[in-house]
Amino acid sequence: MAKVPKPEELLSGISYKPPEKGWMAVKPDLRPGTYVNAASAKWLKFLDYPFPRDWSVADEDWKLPPNWREIVLEGMEDRLARFRSLKVFFDICVRCGACADKCHFFLGTGDPKNMPVLRAELMRSVYKRYFTVAGRVLGEVAGARDLDEQVLREWFSYLHQCTICRRCSLFCPYGIDMAEMTILGRELLSSVGLNIEWAAASVGSCYEKGSHIGATPQAYKDMIDFLAEENERITGVTTEVTYNRKGAEILFVVPSGDYFADPGSYTMMGYLLLFKYLDLDYTMSTYAAEGGNFGWFISHEMGKRLNAKIYEEAKRLKVKWIMGGECGHMWRICNQYMPTYYGQPVDFLEEPVSPITGTRFENAKTHKMVHISEFTADLIHHGKLKLDPRRNAHIKLTFHDSCNTSRGMGIFEEPRYIIKSVLPEENFVEMPPHTIRERTFCCGSSAALNADEFMETRMKGGLPRATAVQYVAEKYGVNHLGCICALDRATLPTLVNYWVPGMEVTGITELVGNALVFDDEIDRDMDLRDRELVYPIVKGEAGEETEEAGMEAAEAPEAEEGE
Amino acid sequence: MPNVEFKGKVFEVDEDGFLANLDQWCQEWVDYVKDSEGISELTDDHWKVINMLQDYYKKNGIAPMVRILSKVTGFKLKQIYELFPSGPGKGACKMAGLAKPTGCV
């Protein structure tokens, strides 16, 4: 694996000076560290995906099928007909450049082809050549070019330097959605057997066993049971989970990172504690064992295939509605694609209603899934949780809006409302306004780009995010970066360890788990990560004080602007 | 898939150098990873980790989460890094011949 340059080497290597030659003449530079490995044949065979073969990105010969050009062009024609948006996005761009410096990959690499306008042009130029009169007649003068292997290499390189985060779309006066173009471009690559291993292995594992990590049902149960035991050890509260239980009110689905990897596993402990506190009638499924969907990072068809199991399991278990954990792209899919992917009305589920507060989640009327942050914020708003923020006094937090839950779903206030209820007031600090909420900077490794071999580009792509984190760390002493996405919890620790050493990454429900006060808990002197609390709570000796603090915390914070 | 040759044995590996098939795992593979990891001598502690990983994998079809590895072996994460400098995944799991998990990890 390529050696990752040191931060100072990487910084000094970033140049915004464009190459002297025109963009069509510049060939893609695919050196180790700047690409994700090619997908192995075994996964494509298993998924029945076209042209499985063993090849390497570094090879001269990508072993393309002889008629690859026809396949790609036919695929483009097909998608132009099926996705009117794609044709509009190709035709409408006026090269205003508003998007150019909004992409984290451009800011971190200085490569002009990472300007979204030019990334789209890599495909648009082919569209013009084969599907417009001007391009067919005038060729390069009209910005058109032939589709050759170099073009395909370019697509492979730059469509895998896009995390489909849509920050560029936010600034585009026409709202051109680069993410949609990237996904369709990746589909075209996939149609001639050009896939990345990190996506294909995750998808294959999920399709075969139910989760991206490839957990078997017994492993799934073993891990979650282990985390429940950890809860009991730390809090004295038993948080047992039922699996595949028919007739439960709610099916709870989480991204697999939450029950397999740190620090997501602490978020998982928080979920279990919260549900125990409420005596919630929920179950978890060894079949719908994955909230995330790496299929969507390859093609809509694969996204649809993986997504189906969540509804199918909800139907089989006869639950009323579905709650999802802290995941990013699960919510983008849920919010924008899920009912379409499913292809029929989700009439076997009910419009979600919180059994604790009676709140009707009208926003989930169609897809019937509620985000745990919505659920928890509603609980706090109704004063249903006894919380002691002092148990998070050692945590000085800033919040990273995940691309998908913010730009894809508009969840801005709920996590902040929760944070303000579970942390001492002075312990929450925002990053600069142009780096949060809908303008948030991506972690730089999403969309199946969180592979180790891609580390150099990942660290470049994450630089804008890390810079904002560093700013609040130095200015306010922030020591934790909060998020509501498992991909963030997988990628941000690596990113901040590289750029802002000492920073920890945490899910928000972990903080809820720390702060929840149970009647029958043991003395709490450790947080969920076994770190000593700054203000240990000792019952008996300081019982009165504890009670008072708890009462204060139970009051809902002032409503925020925009709620 | 690329091959690795060591002490007369040929191993099929993925692009990250992980063993493609646990059935190919043997002492020579352990020695190969030991050398590439820069571990001077394998101790009982190393074997305790390797055996735990393989037992768990055979039972559950996946590597254990790091916290379960810690709990069962009694080694804190820091100690696992002392034993396997590349860490529990890229060091220990690789030596034990396990596939690496993918997804949000």
Residue range A280-296, pLDDT digits in tens: 999 999 999 999 999 99
By C-alpha distance, the chain A residue nearest B90 is: A452
Q: Are A52 and A41 in contact (CB under 8 A)?
A: yes
| Number of neighbouring beta carbons within 10 Å of residue A137 | 10
Asked if residue A558 has pLDDT above 90, the reply is no
Q: What is the pLDDT of residue A1?
A: 72
pTM for this model (two decimals):
0.94
Q: Which residue has the tokens 């451009």?
A: A106
Query: Residue A562: inside a domain, yes or no?
Result: no
Check residue A246 and report its DSSP letter: T
**Residues contacting residue A215 through CB under 8 Å, at least 6 positions apart:** A209, A223, A256, A259, A260, A289, B60, B61, B62
Judged by CB atoms closer than 8 Å, whether chains meet at B60 and A215 is answered as yes
Judged by CB atoms closer than 8 Å, whether chains meet at A222 and B15 is answered as no
Same domain, A222 and A95: no
Q: How far apart are CA A364 and CA A452, in angstroms?
A: 36
Q: Which domain holds residue A55?
A: 24-195
Q: What is the pLDDT of residue A118?
A: 97
Q: What is the mean pLDDT of residues A216-231?
A: 97
Judged by CB atoms closer than 8 Å, whether chains meet at B103 and A294 is answered as yes
SS3 call for A435: helix
Sheet containing strand A282-284, edge to edge, reads: A282-284, A250-253, A321-324, A369-371
Amino acid letter, residue B20: A
Same domain, A185 and A211: no
Domain count, chain B: 1
Q: What is the mean pLDDT of residues A108-122?
A: 97
Q: What is the mean pLDDT of residues A108-129?
A: 98
Judged by CB atoms closer than 8 Å, whether chains meet at A216 and B61 is answered as yes
Higher pLDDT, A436 or B90: A436
Q: How far apart are CA A464 and CA A101, in angstroms?
A: 11
Q: Are A432 and A471 in contact (CB under 8 A)?
A: yes
Catalytic residue among B23, B40, B104, B105: B104
Whether the CB of A224 is below 8 Å from some CB of chain B: the reply is no
Of A486, A492, A452, whose CA–CA distance to A261 is shortest? A486
Same domain, A177 and A215: no
Q: How far apart are CA A292 and CA A289, in angstroms?
A: 9
Same domain, A188 and A273: no
Same domain, A210 and A187: no
Reported as a pLDDT band with limits 50, 70 and 90, residue A534 is: confident
Top residue of A213, A216, A225 to mutate, by most chain B CBs within 10 Å, is A213
Listed range (A130-139, A231-240, A465-474, B6-15) with the worst mean pLDDT = B6-15
Which of A492-513 are b and which e, b meaning 16 or more Cβ less than 10 Å from the residue's Cβ?
bbbbbebbbeebbbbbbbbbbb
Same domain, A418 and A510: yes
Of A295, A297, A484, A328, whose CA–CA distance to A408 is shortest? A328
Percent of chain A with pLDDT over 90: 92
User: CA A121 → CA A91, A92, A95, A114, A189, distances in Å?
Assistant: 11, 12, 10, 11, 16
Q: What is the pLDDT of residue A554?
A: 47
Q: Which among A136, A162, A195 is the end of a domain? A: A195
Same domain, A305 and A409: yes
Query: Residue B44: inside a domain, yes or no?
Result: yes
Q: Which among A137, A164, A195 is the end of a domain? A: A195
Whether the CB of A100 is below 8 Å from some CB of chain B: the reply is no
Check residue B60 and report its DSSP letter: H
The dihedral region occupied by A243, where left means phi > 0, alpha psi between -120 and 50, and beta the remainder, is beta
Tokens for A178, please give them: 């680069």
Same domain, A183 and A267: no
Averaged confidence pLDDT in chain A:
94
Q: Are A445 and A495 in contact (CB under 8 A)?
A: yes
Check residue B26 and report its DSSP letter: -
Q: How far apart are CA A207 and CA A46, in angstroms?
A: 9
Identify whether B93 is a catalytic site residue: no
Q: How far apart are CA B98 and CA B102, in angstroms?
A: 13
The dihedral region occupied by A302, where left means phi > 0, alpha psi between -120 and 50, and beta the remainder, is alpha
Residue-wise DSSP of A265-333 = HHHHHHHHHHHHHHT--EEE-SSS--S--GGGGT-HHHHHHHHHHHHHHHHHHT-SEEEE-S-SHHHHH
By C-alpha distance, the chain B residue nearest A57 is: B15
> Which helix or strand (DSSP H or E) is residue A16 part of?
none
Q: Which residue has the tokens 């944070």?
A: A419
Q: Which among A132, A161, A195 is the end of a domain? A: A195
Q: Which residues pair with A250 in a beta bridge?
A: A282, A321
Contact residues of B toward A, CB < 8 A: 1, 14-17, 59-62, 65-68, 71, 90, 99, 101-105
SS3 call for A507: strand
Of A494, A499, A457, A495, whose CA–CA distance to A14 is shortest? A457
All residues of chain A having their beta carbon less than 8 Å from the beta carbon of residue B62 are 213-216, 219
Q: How far apart are CA A201 and CA A213, in angstroms?
A: 9
Judged by CB atoms closer than 8 Å, whether chains meet at B71 and A226 is answered as yes
Judged by CB atoms closer than 8 Å, whether chains meet at B103 and A290 is answered as yes
Reported as a pLDDT band with limits 50, 70 and 90, residue A152 is: very high
All residues of chain B having their beta carbon less than 8 Å from the beta carbon of residue A267 are none
Q: Are A372 and A519 in contact (CB under 8 A)?
A: no
Query: Residue B34: inside a domain, yes or no?
Result: yes
Q: Which residue has the tokens 């690789």?
A: B94
Query: Residue A464: inside a domain, yes or no?
Result: yes
Query: Residue A228: inside a domain, yes or no?
Result: yes
Check residue A451 and report its DSSP letter: -
Domain count, chain A: 2
Q: What is the pLDDT of residue B99?
A: 85
Q: Which residue has the tokens 């003395």?
A: A523
Q: Nearest by CB to B16, which of A1, A202, A216?
A: A1
Query: Residue B101: inside a domain, yes or no?
Result: no
Same domain, A239 and A108: no
Interfacial A residues in 429-468 facing B (CB < 8 Å)? 450, 452-453
Amino acid letter, residue A420: K
Of A183, A100, A162, A163, whose CA–CA distance to A404 is shortest? A163
Query: Residue B104: inside a domain, yes or no?
Result: no
Give the tens place of pLDDT for each residue, B44-55: 999 999 999 999
Query: Residue A7: inside a domain, yes or no?
Result: no
Q: Which residues pair with A399 in a beta bridge?
A: A482
Same domain, A158 and A123: yes
Same domain, A38 and A128: yes
Q: What is the pLDDT of residue A557?
A: 54
A and B: number of Cβ contacts within 8 A: 95
**C-alpha torsion A213→A217→A222→A228, nearest 10:** 90
**Residues contacting residue A548 through CB under 8 Å, at least 6 positions apart:** none
Give the tens place of pLDDT for each residue, A54-103: 999 999 999 999 999 999 999 999 999 999 999 999 999 999 999 999 99
Judged by CB atoms closer than 8 Å, whether chains meet at A215 and B105 is answered as no
Judged by CB atoms closer than 8 Å, whether chains meet at A265 and B67 is answered as yes
How large is the greatest C-alpha to C-alpha distance in chain A, in angstroms?
86
Whether the CB of A256 is below 8 Å from some CB of chain B: the reply is yes
> Which helix or strand (DSSP H or E) is residue A41 part of?
helix A41-47
Query: Residue A17: inside a domain, yes or no?
Result: no
Query: Residue A238: inside a domain, yes or no?
Result: yes
Q: Are A438 and A170 in contact (CB under 8 A)?
A: yes
Which ipTM was obtained for this model? 0.94
Averaged confidence pLDDT in chain B:
93
Tokens for A511, please give them: 């903080």
Q: What is the pLDDT of residue A325?
A: 97
Query: Residue A137: inside a domain, yes or no?
Result: yes
Whether the CB of A489 is below 8 Å from some CB of chain B: the reply is yes
Cα within 13 Å of Cα(A386), Cβ side = 13
As to burial, measured by CB atoms within 10 angstroms (0-12 exposed, 13-18 middle, 19+ buried), residue A488 is: buried
> Which helix or strand (DSSP H or E) is residue A506 part of?
strand A504-507
| Number of neighbouring beta carbons within 10 Å of residue A95 | 10
Q: How far apart are CA A307 and CA A311, in angstroms?
A: 8
Reported as a pLDDT band with limits 50, 70 and 90, residue A540 is: low
Tokens for A561, please give them: 């602007």
Same domain, A255 and A398: yes
SS3 call for A215: coil
Q: Which domain holds residue B56?
A: 3-96
Judged by CB atoms closer than 8 Å, whether chains meet at B59 and A218 is answered as yes
Give the tens place of pLDDT for each residue, A335-384: 889 889 999 999 999 999 999 999 999 999 999 999 999 999 999 999 99
User: CA A433 → CA A158, A405, A444, distances in Å?
Assistant: 28, 17, 19
Asked if residue B16 has pLDDT above 80, the reply is yes
Of A58, A196, A54, A197, whose CA–CA distance to B1 is shortest? A54
Pairing of strands A321-324, A369-371: parallel
All residues of chain B having their beta carbon less than 8 Å from the beta carbon of residue A257 are 103-105
